[in-house]
A = this chain, B = another copy of it.
Amino acid sequence: MKTYLDCFPCFLSQALRAARIATDDEMKIKRVLDKVGMMLKDIPLDSTPPETGRLIYRIVREITGNNDPYKEIKEESTKIALGLYPSLKAKVEESDNDLLLAIKIAIAGNVIDFGANWNFDISEEVEKVLEKDFAICDYDEFERCLNDTEEVLYLGDNAGECVFDRVLIEKIGKKVKYVVRGMPVINDETYEDAIKAGIGEIADIISSGTDAPGTILETCSGEFRDLFYDSKFIISKGQGNYEALSDVDVPIFFLFKAKCEVIARNIGVKKGDIVLKYSVRKDDLAKKRIFS
């Protein structure tokens, strides 16, 4: 997804929020804003928002000297999510369509995002998402493709959210490679966060190698890129991953809540809507049209 003009004030808001979490020193926070302000002119509109996110959080780290400002928040999110885990599992077991509900639960976990949204009550927000209908729901394709695959590449998003991913991974019942960021950025999950959420017991945890708040392939390790392009079934969680990968020519199932007007408009839904969107490889789509 390209960068829209509306993203620019939001970049500054994100910088302010992260800087405030990283330090109490008002002058350092001001310096972060000054530097991000200076940087805006160098952001091309055809870059993706997480590319700028990456630069912003580098500036926050550099000026505040705090390499993982969201560490405590991430730990707290994981604790809260682990507290909800038994009831989420029970909901899935009781459901008539357990796979669809598990998908919805995984999306509900996406409310845990300190990049786009700041004030929220996790369990209340989760309940709201579970009551929602999908605005886009490519569930039939999801089920069909899942039946045809042996292995799933699952691109995680935020710490805490991965507890919700665990519910879906356990329902999928396939071999899963679960991808985390290469280093702390906002509250995105790292290897440590995924381990704390118990993902290590049910999936192979793999680092993408990126320090961006989204799977920007150019910033990932070569090893990860090979794995990505070889994968037949990819689940991508969250806005950051959608923003980074929506124009990549690979079939991906995007699962997220549209948390801002810009992404909602981009995908053709309303802010707050939940989405299970299949982005098909363009040559596959061409074949489908020829043979159908």
Contact = CB atoms under 8 A, between A and B. Distances in A.
A37 interface: yes
B26 A8 contact: no
Interface string A9-23: 110110010001000
Interface residues of A, number: 22
Contacts of A39: 37
A37 B15 CA distance: 13
Nearest to A29: B5
A55 to B, nearest CB: 13
Q: In the complex, which of the residues A8, A10, A38 has the most CB atoms of chain B within 10 Å of its own CB atom?
A: A8
Q: Copy number of this protein in the oligomer?
A: 2
Interface in A57-116: none
Contacts of A124: none
A40 interface: yes
Binding site secondary structure of chain A: helix
Given A34-B41, A40-B37, A26 B9 contact: no
A255 interface: no
Interface in A31-59: 33-41, 45
A45 B16 contact: no
Nearest to A44: B30
A12 B16 contact: no
Interface in A103-141: none
A173 to B, nearest CB: 45
A75 to B, nearest CB: 26
A9 B33 CA distance: 9
Contacts of A20: 5
A37 to B, nearest CB: 3
A6 interface: yes
A5 B10 CA distance: 14
